Each structure stands twice: as structure tokens, then as C-alpha cells.
Amino acid sequence: MNKKKYISLFASVGMIFSTVAAYSISSAVRSTMDYGFTLETLRQIQIMVDNFGDEQLKKTHADNKARFQEAAESYYGLDYTASALKFYKLKKDLVSILEVMDDMYLKRTKEILDSTSKVSFQILIEYSKESGLASYLRKPFDPLNDIKLIDPDKYHFFQDREKIAAYIREGYKKYEKAKSIFNDPDIAFLKKKNKLPLNSINQIISSSIELVNLCREAKQSGIEIYRILNVNELGKSMIKYNITHATIMPVFDDRIPEKYKVDADDNLRLIHDVEMKKLKKR
């Protein structure tokens, strides 16, 4: 959870406190914190639902946004008791939708990493300076009698193998960390309670958001491996889509398999459907 955003948000509503002398300060503070926390959570969920949500998830999220509006109206109307209760009930339901999204992100993360794993480890084994393939590069090549063992398009693996190793390491490390959050026994114990304290609900939500962000980082490691494996597609993509600047967005980057471009967009907090509309204009 981005604490800097919360600090900025709290500062913007600080002036309200000067008008609430007739109200309990503790209720006002709690409602303000609820407002900021819930708003930021809904913003985080929005991009997840936009990119990976089915119709049911999108409907649930739309309902939750309407409930937030109702709670926020009570908050801005200085009815802190009513708004606190509404925010509490809403956040309990946000736990449920985040649990679904967490499971989805974990599955997609493992799929992307596993899809690169076999070829990545083959490269680490075969394209080292001590490998049998490397020994042939140090010998003169006789085009009439020798056999070319290495595809020229794959020479770069000798240089890029360490990058691939680093991405594999970081990808699986972050995936396992995200999975440990999902399987955290303390979080599981809290979810089973009938009546959760507000701090516990916030803790569960924050853990879920952390899990998603770890999955995004892990998936990006897999995406970067694909960019190395398919490096020769970069020039083709830039010509195909008439790209003249240095940065190429995922939807135009054919180094990335089509089915994982939504993940690459999501990692950048981009909406894949919007990016696809840009693609169709090319």
C-alpha cells in the first residue's frame, strides 16, 4: 500500500477537522482513515478487474464502488458513525474480491515463469564459456567440411545468460514470497473470525495488495526473459508498427507472446483493452 498517497490524502482533508468540534475526534479520525484506505484499495482493484476480471467480478466491483460512494457521502456529510460502519462492511467484502484476484495473479505468475523455465535452464547449461558449444566458436570454421552447431540468432545467449539467470532467480523468489502471503496461517486465522477488528481487515487487504504487486514483479521477470529469447523480433516489431521512438509499449512488442501482453500491460498499470484499441489504429 502506498503510504505517501495516504499522507497526501489526509493532508487534503485535514481542514475538515476544524469544523467538527461537536463531533467525536476519534470517530472523525477513524472515518478519514477509512475513506483514504478504501479509496486507494478500490483504485488498486480497478486495474486488476479491468485486465483480468470476468463479468461477475466487474459487477461486484461496480457494486462496491457504489457502496463506497454512499459511505463517502456520509463521510463528507460529517456523519462519521454511519460512514465508519459503511466503510467497515465494504472493506470486509473487498477482502473476498481480493482473495479471488490473489489466486488469479498467483496462477498467471507461475504459468509465465514456468513457460520460460525449460529453455532458460537449457541456455544456462549450453551457452557458457566452458560448454562444448563455446569450444567450437574458438576454432576456425571450414564451410565445406564443418557443421554449424549454433544458430547465429542465438549467439547472444553467451552474453545474455547471466541476465536470464537473474530474472529466473528474482521471478521465482518473488513468486514464492507472494505464495507465502497467500498461505500465511495468521491471515487464514483472521479470515475465519466472524467479527474482525478494523485493523485486522486493513492488514488482510494490505497483504493482498502486496501479493499482487509481488506477482507483477515476478511476471515482469518472465516478460524480460521473453524479450531476451525473442530479441530479433524487436526490429521487426518497430517496422511492423511504424515505431520511431526508443520505447516500445507491450502491445506493440512481439517479443512478448500475445497471451502474456495483458500481463505486461498490467505490470505497467495499463488497461489492456485500451492498449488494444491503439494497436488497431496502426
Is the model's pLDDT at 102 over the cut of 80? yes
Q: Which has the minimum average pLDDT: 52-61, 156-165, 171-180? A: 156-165
Q: How much is the pLDDT for 215? A: 98
Cα-Cα end-to-end distance for the chain: 37
Per DSSP, the three-state class of 19 is helix
Q: What is the mean pLDDT of residues 155-163?
A: 83
Q: How much is the pLDDT for 238? A: 92
Alpha-carbon radius of gyration of the chain? 25
Q: How much is the pLDDT for 156? A: 78
Rounded to whole angstroms, how far apart are CA atoms 146 and 8?
A: 68
CA-closest candidate to residue 1, choices 55, 51, 41, 56: 41
SS (H, E, C) 22-83: CCCHHHHHHHHHHHHHHHHHHHHHHHHHHHHCCHHHHHHHHHHHHHHHHHHHHHHCCCHHHH
Q: How much is the pLDDT for 57? A: 96
Summarised one tens digit per residue, pLDDT across range 214-254 is 999 999 999 999 999 999 999 999 999 998 877 899 999 99
At residue 220, φ and ψ (nearest 5 deg) are -65, -35
Q: What is the mean pLDDT of residues 72-90?
A: 95
Q: How much is the pLDDT for 214? A: 98
Q: What is the pTM of this model?
A: 0.83
Rounded to whole angstroms, how far apart are CA atoms 178 and 216?
A: 10
Cα 172 vs. chain centroid, distance in angstroms? 15
* In contact, 218 and 113? CB cutoff 8 Å: yes
Summarised one tens digit per residue, pLDDT across range 46-60 is 999 999 999 999 999
Q: What is the mean pLDDT of residues 172-199?
A: 92
Is the model's pLDDT at 75 over the cut of 70? yes
How much is the mean pLDDT over the chain? Answer: 86
Grid cell listed for 90 = 465494504
Rounded to whole angstroms, how far apart are CA atoms 175 and 132?
A: 33
Amino acid at 16: I
Rounded to whole angstroms, how far apart are CA atoms 135 and 139?
A: 7
* In contact, 189 and 160? CB cutoff 8 Å: no
CB-based burial label for 13 (10 Å; 0-12, 13-18, 19+)? middle
Is the model's pLDDT at 22 over the cut of 50? no
How far are the Cα atoms of 64, 83, 84, 87 from residue 73, in angstroms, in the given order? 14, 8, 11, 11
Q: What is the mean pLDDT of residues 180-191?
A: 92
pLDDT class of 28 with cuts at 50, 70, 90: confident
Grid cell listed for 150 = 549454433
Cα 252 vs. chain centroid, distance in angstroms? 19
Is the model's pLDDT at 7 over the cut of 60? no
Strands (E), 187-239: none
The number of beta carbons lying within 10 Å of the beta carbon of residue 14 is 10
pLDDT class of 191 with cuts at 50, 70, 90: confident
Is the model's pLDDT at 35 over the cut of 60? yes
Is the model's pLDDT at 122 over the cut of 80? yes
pLDDT class of 129 with cuts at 50, 70, 90: low
Q: How much is the pLDDT for 231? A: 93
Q: How much is the pLDDT for 15? A: 44
